Homo-oligomer: A and B are copies of this chain.
Amino acid sequence: MTVPVDLGAALSRFSDPWQPRTIAVLNDYDVRVAKTLGEFTWHSHPDTDELFLVVKGSLTIRMEAGDVTLGPGQLYVVPRGVRHQPVSSEGAEIVLIEPSVTVNTGDSPGALTAERRVL
């Protein structure tokens, strides 16, 4: 029997916010889970769109043209090149889907930049 990937189980295995873990690979894309809390870095990804799906909690993606707030079961694709700042005052558990080469802080590396990590 093949075992599925369980989002809740994967998210229960770590607690540090803004540090995505890769839980599955789809061609040259990663499916990542992350916890979010507080404010992330303003950044963009010049070469790719980025998908955010909220599993639990609430995540706001600030963008210059307007914010979007996601609750459980809601997703948003930030277009390539669009500057955005994920923020989550009460915390959230999310899925990210993006090319495996994508770095979380995009064009704005800093203290929150994470290495690609497979859970």
Q: Could you tell me if A74 and B4 are in contact, using CB atoms closer than 8 angstroms?
A: yes
CB neighbours of A4 from chain B (8 A): 68-71, 74-76
In the complex, the answer to whether A74 meets B31 with C-beta atoms within 8 Å is no
State whether B68 touches A7 (Cβ < 8 A).
no
Q: Which residues of A are in contact with B by a Cβ distance under 8 Å? A: 1-8, 24-27, 29, 31, 48-51, 55, 63, 65-71, 73-77, 80, 97-99
Residue contacts A-B, CB under 8 angstroms, 22 given: A2-B63, A2-B65, A2-B66, A2-B68, A3-B68, A4-B68, A4-B70, A4-B76, A5-B74, A5-B75, A5-B76, A8-B73, A24-B77, A25-B49, A26-B51, A26-B77, A26-B97, A26-B98, A27-B49, A31-B75, A55-B73, A97-B97
